Amino acid sequence: MALLPHFTTLGSGPTVLMLHDADGSHLSFAPQVETLASAGYRAVAWDMPGYGHSAPIEPYGFMGLAQSCTRLMEALQGGAVTLVGHGLGAMLALEVALRQPKLVRQLVLCAGGRALDAASEAAWVAPRLAALESGQGMDAIAQSLVPRYIGTGSLPEGVRLASHALSQVNPSAWRRALQALPTFSRGAAELARVQVPVLIVGGAQDRCTPPEALQALAHVLPDARHLSLPTIGHWPQLEDPESFDGALLDFLAESSGRVLH
């Protein structure tokens, strides 16, 4: 039987499962875990297979990642969950919603979710693979790469956490995740089948996933809205956690009809 991926959890209530990007880990949603738990939700942040203490999977790709995520959702026994995905995690959230629609209540897509075009692959994937091929350690890569993709209004503590999370990633796992990114190929016709409410949040200064790309994604999804945070780059949940968390909690409350604590 396949092992469950490692995860952290805090709080009780409706389950919100957070799926990090290739550049991160469960730490990428550390501020949101506390915020959600305080607001009456069960906050769960996983380590993707191959990351942290989660065992790797073979073959590695979106199908296998979706299966691993589904096993975790079922093991949590909380019914349909809200998936919050960042970057690659946003793509994965959509993949799971298409494969297991009964298990997904709603989606929050942060700085990602659309299939990569050539320009996005050049801006997002190529520099990371190049950094890996340079022979540097992950700490050095994090210290040089993260500052290139943040916004001018980023919270310094959030930038440090983004750098720390990337510095802890296993280089082999990072390579596999980066190579998987361009294989996400869900097009408009398939995305139109996603019937749950969707909140799309991005940074206005994100060079990896610019606002125009996220707005285009919002037009394809049947029930989606797009929020662009000014002066923020590729890590909205860490660069501007106050704005991100406010939008997230408002969306959750509105979608579920709950009253925030």
Q: Which two three-digit tokens encode residue 152? A: 């001018």
- What mean pLDDT value characterizes the chain? 95
Sign of torsion over alpha carbons 86, 195, 104, 91: negative
- Residue 73: CATH number of its domain: 3.40.50.1820
Cβ contacts of 194 within 8 Å, gap of 6 or more: 94, 97, 98, 101, 107, 221, 222
* Burial class of residue 79, CB neighbours in 10 A (0-12, 13-18, 19+): exposed
Please, which residues bridge with residue 106 across strands? 82
Flag whether pLDDT at 1 surpasses 70: no
Query: Residue 256: what pLDDT?
Result: 67
- The pLDDT confidence band at residue 260, using thresholds 50, 70 and 90, is very low
Q: How far apart are alpha carbons 40 and 166 in whole angstroms?
A: 29
Q: Is residue 261 a part of any domain in this protein?
A: no
Whether the Cβ atoms of residue 111 and residue 45 lie closer than 8 Å to each other: no
Examine residue 2 and state whether it is found in any structural domain, yes or no: no
Q: Average pLDDT for residues 15-38, to the nearest whole number?
A: 98
Domain span holding position 187: 7-256
With cut-offs at 50, 70 and 90, classify the pLDDT of residue 22. Answer: very high
- Indicate whether 42 pLDDT > 90: yes
How far apart, in whole angstroms, are the C-alpha atoms of residue 261 and residue 134? 49
Query: What are 63-76's pLDDT values in tens digits?
Result: 999 999 999 999 99
Q: What is the DSSP letter of 148?
A: G
Cβ contacts of 27 within 8 Å, gap of 6 or more: 45, 161, 164, 165, 168
Residue 248 CA to residue 233 CA, distance in Å, equals 18
Instruction: Look at residue 255 in the predicted model and tell me its pLDDT.
Output: 74
CA separation (Å) from 141 to 27, 91, 119?
Answer: 18, 24, 22
Band of pLDDT at residue 3, cut at 50, 70 and 90: confident
Count of domains forming the chain: 1
Please say whether the dihedral angle defined by the alpha carbons of residues 226, 62, 78 and 36, taken in this order, is positive or negative: negative
Query: DSSP H helical segments within 7-52, as ranges?
Result: 30-38
1 belongs to a structural domain: no
| Residue 2's pLDDT band (cuts 50, 70, 90) | low
Q: Which residue has the tokens 């298990």?
A: 103
On whether residue 53 sits in a domain, the answer given is yes
Residue percentage of the chain with pLDDT more than 70: 97
Does position 259 have pLDDT exceeding 70, yes or no? no
What pLDDT score was predicted for residue 141?
96
Q: Which two tokens stand for residue 159?
A: 């930038």
Average pLDDT over residues 79-108: 97
Residues 141-148 have a mean pLDDT of 95
Q: How confident is the model at residue 165 (pLDDT cuts 50, 70, 90)?
A: very high
pLDDT number for residue 100: 97
What is the per-residue pLDDT for 123?
Answer: 84
Which position has the token pair 């139109």?
Answer: 192
String of DSSP letters for 152-169: TT--HHHHHHHHHHHHTS
pTM value is: 0.96
Q: Is a pLDDT exceeding 60 seen at residue 233?
A: yes
Cβ atoms < 10 Å from Cβ of 146? 24
pLDDT tens per residue, range 114-142: 999 888 898 889 999 999 999 889 999 99
